[in-house]
């Protein structure tokens, strides 16, 4: 079974010869926000089937560099600044221990929206030409998941500011929805380009919840924002691609609504937030068909949904021991895998900062035991 066949069969519950594994740090397609030489990158695992490649707003093509400014760390250091496609001014990472930061948000002032112009997706063409070329040259047999990160609400938060967007949900909801409309239209153009670049799947990563739950009411999300995600998912599937989604934070309050959007793959990078075994129950892995509640009280069955999961990136992987990481891999497999498939493991390393090398190795070795 080829890597692409293994990933595809896992998503479709079509039977696999081993549990597929996805990594993100592969040569030529990963550079840790421009802080690593992409040709010298070493993957977190030696044997893998899928690669995750991210379109995010720190890409270098099509953005305008600004003169270096004094660094907040002092000592005469200068920070790199860049104006991105949305008009946000970013502080660009200059090493593997720092992350990008949005330091100017063009729609903080509600009056600025009248003159605001959304970017054209063609600004990303150079990025996708490079990705398509390197994918064909170096990874012709691998399953490629293209990411749109950040998703529409996180872009909106960074355009308007967190306080600004949340206040406008009450004071000027039509403006918030108009901003979302422009973002979603742009990101549909990005999805078109992922399809042209040869991706097999497109995933959206978004954030509108923290560890204590949603940042605004579930009812508001259901009425005004769920339709945007439904539109995005449908657009991905219209290209014949698998659709994946990762909503960061505790989204328990809208879990039924989320699953009702019918992504092909639910991505879980913080399994301990909801609970590994609870995720298994929600996805019907405990002998129960996945279902969602309806206002009439019925429970229409949903298609089986594949889970793509990592050892918890905020807890176990970051601060646990290698033994705890290996044990969590086993819990994920027990809770989320089935004899027909339905589970994809993820081996993460990251570089903001890098996870403990022993933990990364323990995760890779534990998943290798299922291959």
Structure tokens at 35: 């802080």
pLDDT tens digits, residue range 7-50?
999 999 999 999 999 998 888 888 776 777 888 888 888 899 99
- Give the helix ranges, DSSP H, for 82-240: 125-138, 152-160, 162-171, 173-196, 218-220, 226-238
Q: Order the strands of the 89-92 sheet from edge to edge.
A: 64-70, 78-83, 89-92, 101-104
For residue 167, count CB atoms less than 10 angstroms from its CB and return exposed for 0-12, middle for 13-18, buried for 19 or more. middle
Tell me the C-alpha distance between 236 and 71, whole Å. Answer: 40
* Inside any domain, residue 357: yes
* Inside any domain, residue 212: yes
* Inside any domain, residue 117: no
The CATH number for 349's domain is: 3.20.20.210
* Inside any domain, residue 86: no
Q: Rounded to the nearest 10 degrees, how much is the dihedral formed by the CA atoms of 326, 332, 334, 335?
A: 160
Domain that holds residue 203: 3-57+143-368
Task: Please compute, for residue 285, the number of CA atoms within 13 A of its CA located in the half-sphere on the CB side.
Answer: 25
* Inside any domain, residue 160: yes
pLDDT tens digits, residue range 292-348?
444 444 444 567 999 999 999 999 999 999 999 999 999 999 999 999 999 999 998
Tell me the C-alpha distance between 138 and 140, whole Å. Answer: 6
Task: Please compute, for residue 42, the number of CA atoms within 13 A of its CA located in the half-sphere on the CB side.
Answer: 4
Tell me the C-alpha distance between 215 and 117, whole Å. Answer: 27
Tell me the C-alpha distance between 202 and 50, whole Å. Answer: 12
Q: How many domains does the structure of the chain reveal? A: 1
Q: What is the pTM of this model?
A: 0.90
* Inside any domain, residue 77: no
- Give the helix ranges, DSSP H, for the chain: 3-12, 125-138, 152-160, 162-171, 173-196, 218-220, 226-238, 255-260, 271-274, 276-282, 316-319, 322-336, 357-368
Tell me the C-alpha distance between 245 and 242, whole Å. Answer: 10
Q: Which of 33, 130, 32, 135 is nearest to 84 (CA)?
A: 33
Q: Which of 331, 327, 360 is nearest to 346 (CA)?
A: 360
Question: Which residue ranges in the chain fall short of pLDDT 70?
Answer: 33, 57-79, 94-98, 286-302, 351-353
* Inside any domain, residue 70: no
190 within 8 A of 124, measured Cβ to Cβ: yes
* Cα 251 from chain centroid (whole Å): 15
Tell me the C-alpha distance between 202 and 264, whole Å. Answer: 10
* Inside any domain, residue 111: no
């Amino acid at each position: 079974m080829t890597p692409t066949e293994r990933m595809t069969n896992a998503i479709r519950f079509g039977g696999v010869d081993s549990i597929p594994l996805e990594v993100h740090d592969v040569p030529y397609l990963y550079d840790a926000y421009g802080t690593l030489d992409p040709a010298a990158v070493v993957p977190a695992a030696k044997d893998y089937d899928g690669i995750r490649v991210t379109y995010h707003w720190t890409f270098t093509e099509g953005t305008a560099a600004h003169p270096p400014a004094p660094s907040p760390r002092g000592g005469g250091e200068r920070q790199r600044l860049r104006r991105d496609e949305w008009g946000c001014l970013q502080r660009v990472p200059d090493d593997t221990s720092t992350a990008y930061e949005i330091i100017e948000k063009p729609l903080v002032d509600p009056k600025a929206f009248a003159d605001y112009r959304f970017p054209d997706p063609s600004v990303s063409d150079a990025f996708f030409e490079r990705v398509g070329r390197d994918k064909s040259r170096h990874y012709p047999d691998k399953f490629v998941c293209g990411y749109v990160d950040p998703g529409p609400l996180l872009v909106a938060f960074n355009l308007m500011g967190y306080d600004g967007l949340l206040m406008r949900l009450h004071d000027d909801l039509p403006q918030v929805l108009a901003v979302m409309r422009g973002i979603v239209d742009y990101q549909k153009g990005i999805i078109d380009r992922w399809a042209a670049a040869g991706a097999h799947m497109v995933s959206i990563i978004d954030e509108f919840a923290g560890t204590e739950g949603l940042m605004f009411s579930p009812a508001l999300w259901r009425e005004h924002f769920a339709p945007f995600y439904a539109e995005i998912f449908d657009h991905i599937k219209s290209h014949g691609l698998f659709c994946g989604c990762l909503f960061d934070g505790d989204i328990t309050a809208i879990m039924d609504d989320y699953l009702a959007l019918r992504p092909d793959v639910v991505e879980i990078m913080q399994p301990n937030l909801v609970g590994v075994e609870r995720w298994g129950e929600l996805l019907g892995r405990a002998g129960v068909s996945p279902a969602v509640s309806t206002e009439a009280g019925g429970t229409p069955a949903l298609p089986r949904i594949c889970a793509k999961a990592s050892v918890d990136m905020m807890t176990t992987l970051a601060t646990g021991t290698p033994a705890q990481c290996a044990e969590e891999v086993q819990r994920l497999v027990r809770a989320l895998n089935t004899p027909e498939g339905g589970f994809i493991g993820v081996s993460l390393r990251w570089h903001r900062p890098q996870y403990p090398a022993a933990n990364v190795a323990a995760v890779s070795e534990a998943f290798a035991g299922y291959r």
